[in-house]
Amino acid sequence: MNLLSVEGISKAYGERIIFEPLSFGISKGQKIALIAKNGSGKTTILKIIAQQDTPDSGFVNFRKGTQVSYLPQDPVLDPEKTVEEIILASGNQTLKIIAAYEKALQKPEDTDNYQKAFEAMDQHEAWDFETQYKQLLSKLKLDDLTLKARALSGGQKKRLALCSALLEKPDLLILDEPTNHLDLEMIEWLEAYFIKEKLTLLMVTHDRYFLERVCTEIIELDEGELFSYKGSYSYFLEKRAARMEQLETEAHKTKRHFTKELEWMRRQPKARTTKSKSRIDDFNTIKTKAQQRRNEHKVQLEINMERLGSKMIEMHRVSKAFGEKIILQSFDYNFQRNDRIGIIGNNGTGKSTFLKLLTDTLTPDGGKIIRGETLKFGYYTQEGIVVKAGQKVIEVIQEFGEYIPLKKGRKISAQQLLERFLFDRKKQYDFVEKLSGGERKRLYLCTVLIQNPNFLILDEPTNDLDIITLNILENFLLDFPGCLIVVSHDRYFMDKIVDHLFVFRGAGKIEDFPGNYSDFRAYEGLSSESETSEKKSKTDWKNNTVNKASYQDQRLLKKLEKEIASLELKKEDLQNQFANNSLSTEDIKSLSIELKGIEDDLSTKTDDWFTRSIELE
């Protein structure tokens, strides 16, 4: 059953065309994701369908009686209303039925009206609406119904707006980045809910696991055209790659044809026949196609960052609390070069506080934090970028740096970096206020990277970024030679980038887990099963085979790897010191003894690591 048809809608703001005539339809039961680059108008398309905006041309035809609910990226709630008041003031259809029934009760003599209201209550299961919304709020961890909206966090506001949208039981639910500001537990609950429920969904999301597990169809807006893929995200990737390959083949043929026609054009006399004019027109068409350029870039930066010393950051028995709320308790960790650490945990467990302690914007209550002399932070925060009025894109990034030095004496300019992150030359001279939310986040990311940090901290970097930009960022981070810490609710991103996790459990407890997010979830699942069945062993955590390494074994191997890396750095530093011509005989002797000790220790630990890794195979 077709719920709606989108017919030739377009939108522009002034001279800037967001998208030109687009058409597609949505049928009952479909779970569709809309994928496009930031700035392509994804949110505008959703708003037009949700009747929150109007197109410049075209229209949206709804099947009669179709109920639509819309969850925006950043819901606007009345700050003075409580959680329960917001639900009850939402304009929910069930609430209208309840109100009609209560009104009918006041006039019992009007039996026809009362019977109609009574039947509507039955039909819409309105008798237990209060129970329904309280249960759903509880599942979304909004148990305090008296809490006012102004006291809610961004994640809580998103959950409250989501609850309100779900309670409407719409024929079509439209979601704009539904996983933004939700913690991992809530994302996984929502994912399971959408898989189970028979809903019709149209969503924009960058969460690729969410796309894979929930969506049954992908609509891609690419270069002004819509392409539909009837399948999951992995199916979309496969078919899109085939489409790109076909385009490359066609482009190559077109260019060869263009070269041939160009030679013909150059041989033509000034006087042209009618037949020649027709061929010239064809030539101009071919030329246009041959000169098209796709704005997709692969980041391949061999960054030549400032030299990293053997010491980066050492945390010794660090503690932090706010009143009775303990964030850290006697935490120890020695950060190493090439660390790839993901930070996960429920909202309010202290992840942001931990980052502030690292960057010296907060002081610990106890313990000490030692930072290396060559340390240079790059810190991408959730707050985003603040720009001056009237600034252009290129001017913003140039305030932070003109270029990034690359190896072999090369460098990448601010302009080139912006191009790699999908800001073409024309866009670079646009005013920042014209950028979409995702484009602003992309610009902010460039301002962090242009500073060439050797210790990069990314706090929720994936929010509002499109999938194409995420792939570019992932490629950059995979080649990043410094230390990296990522706080993210994007499970796909975490799996691809990090190799171990800090798991914030709350009450000051932090676990160092040797694996990515999927490994952690597999281990957690087996751990919870072992509480009810002694037959399950924790050695099953990663691949469900009892011969694999246990969690503790993995931790020990990870610890040895870090110690080996640290010793190798110390060895390199000592060897470099021998190049100093001013060293005395005693200095050389002392350095030689120290170097010998480090080499022996390194050999022992390497043998230990090798032996243990063989035993665990």
403 three-class SS:
strand
210 inside domain: yes
pLDDT number for residue 109: 77
pLDDT number for residue 295: 42
Q: How far apart are CA 495 and CA 554, in angstroms?
A: 17
The yes-or-no verdict on residue 220 having pLDDT over 80 is yes
The yes-or-no verdict on residue 327 having pLDDT over 70 is yes
Among 140-149, 236-245, 465-474, the range with the most confident prediction by mean pLDDT is 140-149
509: its two tokens: 């407890």
122: its two tokens: 């039955």
Q: Which of 10, 62, 13, 382 is nearest to 202 (CA)?
A: 62
The yes-or-no verdict on residue 581 having pLDDT over 70 is yes
Rg (CA), the chain: 30
pLDDT number for residue 228: 92
212 inside domain: yes
For residue 313, how many other CB atoms are within 10 A of its CB? Answer: 21
The yes-or-no verdict on residue 279 having pLDDT over 70 is no
Model-level pTM?
Answer: 0.68
Residues 19 and 136 in one domain: no
Which residue type is seen at 22? L
The yes-or-no verdict on residue 436 having pLDDT over 60 is yes
pLDDT number for residue 289: 52
pLDDT number for residue 575: 78
Mean pLDDT over all residues of the chain? 81
Q: How confident is the model at residue 255 (pLDDT cuts 50, 70, 90)?
A: low
Average pLDDT over residues 215-231: 90
Domain count, the chain: 5
pLDDT number for residue 612: 65
Which residue type is seen at 397? I
Residues 430 and 462 in one domain: yes
147: its two tokens: 């809490």
Which of 30-44, 204-218, 259-273, 567-581 bottoms out in mean pLDDT, i.e. has the lowest?
Answer: 259-273
Residue 288 vs residue 247, higher pLDDT: 247
Strand partners of residue 148: 82
Domain of residue 206, CATH code = 3.40.50.300
Answer yes or no: are the C-beta atoms of 495 and 517 closer than 8 Å.
yes
Residues 273 and 138 in one domain: no
Residues 479 and 571 in one domain: no
Average pLDDT over residues 344-350: 84
Residues 94 and 43 in one domain: no
HEC-encoded secondary structure of 30-46: CEEEEECCCCCCHHHHH
177 inside domain: yes
pLDDT number for residue 616: 56
Q: How confident is the model at residue 260 (pLDDT cuts 50, 70, 90)?
A: low
Average pLDDT over residues 70-88: 89
Percent of the chain clearing pLDDT 90 (strictly above): 25
Q: How confident is the model at residue 542 (pLDDT cuts 50, 70, 90)?
A: very low
Which of 102-116, 265-279, 490-504 bottoms out in mean pLDDT, i.e. has the lowest?
Answer: 265-279
> For the chain, how are helix, strand and coil distributed in percent, rounded to 5?
45, 20, 35
125 three-class SS:
coil
Q: Which of 476, 471, 513, 514 is nearest to 493 (CA)?
A: 471
HSE value, Cβ hemisphere, 13 Å, CA-based, for 297: 17
Residue 69 vs residue 523, higher pLDDT: 69
Residue 132 vs residue 314, higher pLDDT: 314
Residues 7 and 37 in one domain: yes
386 three-class SS:
coil
Where among 123, 151, 179 does a domain terminate?
A: 151
Q: How far apart are CA 102 and CA 106, in angstroms?
A: 7
pLDDT number for residue 569: 77
The yes-or-no verdict on residue 417 having pLDDT over 80 is yes
Q: How far is CA 204 from CA 51, 183, 239, 518, in A?
A: 16, 18, 20, 23
The yes-or-no verdict on residue 8 having pLDDT over 50 is yes
Q: How confident is the model at residue 102 (pLDDT cuts 50, 70, 90)?
A: confident
Where among 515, 536, 560 does a domain terminate?
A: 515
| Ranges of H-type helices in 124-232 | 129-139, 154-167, 184-196, 208-214
Which residue type is seen at 61? N
pLDDT number for residue 538: 39
pLDDT digits (tens, 9 = 90+) for 547-573: 344 555 666 676 777 778 777 777 877
Q: How far apart are CA 36 and CA 486, in angstroms?
A: 25
How buried is 454 (Cβ within 10 angstroms: 0-12 exposed, 13-18 middle, 19+ buried)? buried
234 inside domain: no
For residue 96, how many other CB atoms are within 10 A of its CB? Answer: 13
The length of the chain is 617
Average pLDDT over residues 259-270: 62
Answer yes or no: are the C-beta atoms of 201 and 69 closer than 8 Å.
no
Which residues have C-beta within 8 Å of that of residue 517, sequence separation ≥ 6? Answer: 184, 342, 344, 491, 494, 495, 498, 501
The yes-or-no verdict on residue 536 having pLDDT over 60 is no
Which residues have C-beta within 8 Å of that of residue 538, sequence separation ≥ 6? Answer: 523, 526, 527, 530, 550, 551
pLDDT number for residue 222: 87
The yes-or-no verdict on residue 540 having pLDDT over 50 is no
Q: How confident is the model at residue 271 (pLDDT cuts 50, 70, 90)?
A: low
Q: How far apart are CA 43 and CA 58, in angstroms?
A: 17
Pairing of strands 217-222, 31-35: parallel
Q: How confident is the model at residue 305 (pLDDT cuts 50, 70, 90)?
A: low
Average pLDDT over residues 577-589: 79
Q: Which domain holds residue 105?
A: 82-151
412 inside domain: yes
Residue 386 vs residue 307, higher pLDDT: 386
599 inside domain: yes
Answer yes or no: are the C-beta atoms of 453 and 477 closer than 8 Å.
no
Residues 324 and 468 in one domain: yes
Residues 355 and 487 in one domain: yes
520 inside domain: no
Residue 523 vs residue 455, higher pLDDT: 455
Q: How many helices (H) and strands (E) does the chain have?
A: 20, 20
Residues 468 and 565 in one domain: no
pLDDT number for residue 160: 92
Residues 72 and 89 in one domain: no
The yes-or-no verdict on residue 280 having pLDDT over 70 is no
Q: How far apart are CA 472 and CA 295, in angstroms?
A: 12
Max CA distance (Å), the chain: 112
572 inside domain: yes
Among 315-329, 432-446, 520-534, 571-585, the range with the most confident prediction by mean pLDDT is 315-329
pLDDT digits (tens, 9 = 90+) for 591-603: 888 888 888 888 8
Which of 136-145, 210-219, 473-482 bottoms out in mean pLDDT, i.e. has the lowest?
Answer: 473-482
Pairing of strands 68-71, 172-176: parallel
Residues 42 and 25 in one domain: yes
pLDDT digits (tens, 9 = 90+) for 497-508: 898 899 998 888
Which of 67-81, 186-200, 375-389, 523-537 bottoms out in mean pLDDT, i.e. has the lowest?
Answer: 523-537
Which residue type is seen at 184? L
Where among 188, 223, 258 does a domain terminate?
A: 223
pLDDT number for residue 526: 56
Residues 73 and 87 in one domain: no
Average pLDDT over residues 176-181: 88
HSE value, Cβ hemisphere, 13 Å, CA-based, for 505: 9
Q: How far apart are CA 501 and CA 351, in angstroms?
A: 12
Percent of the chain clearing pLDDT 70 (strictly above): 83
pLDDT number for residue 16: 79
Q: Which of 300, 478, 298, 497 is nearest to 406 (CA)?
A: 300
| Ranges of H-type helices in 309-464 | 351-358, 393-398, 414-420, 425-428, 437-449
The yes-or-no verdict on residue 130 having pLDDT over 50 is yes
Among 27-31, 36-40, 257-261, the range with the most confident prediction by mean pLDDT is 27-31
Answer yes or no: are the C-beta atoms of 4 and 63 closer than 8 Å.
yes
Q: How confident is the model at residue 49 (pLDDT cuts 50, 70, 90)?
A: very high
Q: How far apart are CA 552 and CA 180, in angstroms?
A: 33
